[in-house]
Amino acid sequence: MKNLILQAIISGILLGLIYGLIGMGMNIIYGVMRVVNFAHGEFMIIGSYMAFSMTRVFGINVLESLIIILPIFFLFGLFIYYLTVPRLLRSEDPEIASFLTFFGVSLIITSVILLFWGADPRSIPFPFKRVSFTLGSQFIPMGRILSGGFCVATIVLLSIFLFKTYTGQAIRAIIQNREAVSILGIDPHKISSIAFGIGLFLVGMAGVLVILSFPAITPVMGQSYTLIAFIVIVLGGLGSPIGALLGGLLFGLAENVGAIFMPTALAPVIAFVLLIVMILIRPQGIMGKAIVGI
């Protein structure tokens, strides 16, 4: 039993890092613009299918595909921002308007995936000779170790960007008070477009890491990851990118440790119970700030 619990904790941390990366992308977009990107998981799956095509058709290593996919996702984020977000922000209720808009986008993306790649599960051959790493009596899949390493490196670089650069500090300032930043000479639309690009950059990376970490991908997986992203950012705190990381780790640990004590299909129940408890006890999340006075 101890070995099973240790294995579940290791797997939970590695998966939690990927969940945290997905949640951080959504949280940056929501925190800066109050835009609910309901197509977040579908964008991620597009990244997975792009990595699949580059590996199967062009013979590019799945990790090398990041060099091509990440700039595409960042630029696509800028395009999506200028196409939709300024109009959504001018609506009476930007959150509901963005929710409905991106729900439609999610359906379009799923249809495009079905059109080009079909409904069958897709997978890639593992690109490295060593399939797993032995830690004592534990066998850890090499794909998840590599994914976890990329997640940690990305999170560290993102933290440095957010806290040490002018643009990163401007993003954090807009998250705290969007109306006040114009007084400081910050262009909220320019910074928001960069934030949206970073959000899709992160989810594009998550898409590549998912196909490296899991046996197969399907067109409908995006819906599950969108739900996970929502849970992660609620657990960590809306508008807090670092909180999303903590929420992802908490969700991953709850899901994997729970699978030991109950049927696998019911393991996510623990994570949902955790979500409900968090909402009841600390509705602002782990790193979120409470709203004082209404």
String of DSSP letters for 124-136: ----SS--EEEET
Q: Is the pLDDT of residue 81 over 90?
A: yes
Kindly state the average pLDDT of the residues 51-80.
92
* CATH number of domain containing 40: 1.10.3470
In a domain, 245, yes or no: yes
For 181-233, what is each residue's pLDDT tens digit?
A: 877 788 888 999 999 999 999 999 999 999 888 878 999 888 889 988 988 98
In a domain, 19, yes or no: yes
Q: Which residues contact 173 (CB under 8 A, 6 or more apart)?
A: 180, 181, 184, 186
Q: Calculate what percentage of the chain has a pLDDT beyond 70.
A: 92
- Measured at the CA of 134, the angle between CA 128 and CA 136, to 5 degrees, comes to 170
Q: Is the pLDDT of residue 43 over 90?
A: yes
In a domain, 291, yes or no: no
Tokens of 78: 């800028």
Query: What was the pLDDT predicted at 17?
Result: 92
In sequence order, the β-bridge partners of residue 135 are 138
Query: What was the pLDDT predicted at 102?
Result: 93
The H-or-E segment that residue 231 falls in is: helix 221-236
What range does the domain containing 162 cover? 6-118+139-281
Query: What was the pLDDT predicted at 131?
Result: 65
In a domain, 130, yes or no: no
Among the residue ranges 54-68, 215-229, 230-244, the one predicted with the least confidence is 230-244
Q: Which residues contact 245 (CB under 8 A, 6 or more apart)?
A: 17, 20, 21, 23, 24, 155, 236
In a domain, 131, yes or no: no
In Å, how far are 151, 153, 249 from 69, measured between CA atoms? Answer: 16, 17, 25
How buried is residue 115: exposed, middle or buried, by Cβ count under 10 Å (0-12/13-18/19+)? exposed
Query: What was the pLDDT predicted at 293?
Result: 40
Length of the chain counted residue by residue: 294
In a domain, 286, yes or no: no
* Full DSSP string of 45-90: HHHHHHHHHHHHTT---TTTTHHHHHHHHHHHHHHHHHHHHHHHHT
The H-or-E segment that residue 272 falls in is: helix 268-281
What is the number of structural domains in the chain?
1
* Full DSSP string of 152-191: HHHHHHHHHHHHHSHHHHHHHHHHH-TTTGGGGT--HHHH
Nearest-angstrom CA–CA distance, 106 and 229:
14
pTM of the model: 0.90
pLDDT band for 58, please (50, 70, 90 cuts). confident
How buried is residue 164: exposed, middle or buried, by Cβ count under 10 Å (0-12/13-18/19+)? exposed
Kindly state the average pLDDT of the residues 266-282.
81
In Å, how far are 61, 89, 96, 200, 288 from 205, measured between CA atoms? Answer: 14, 27, 27, 8, 25
What's the one-letter identity of residue 272?
A: F
In a domain, 288, yes or no: no
Kindly state the average pLDDT of the residues 38-45.
93
Query: What was the pLDDT predicted at 108?
Result: 93
In a domain, 27, yes or no: yes
Tokens of 163: 């806290």
What's the one-letter identity of residue 248?
A: G
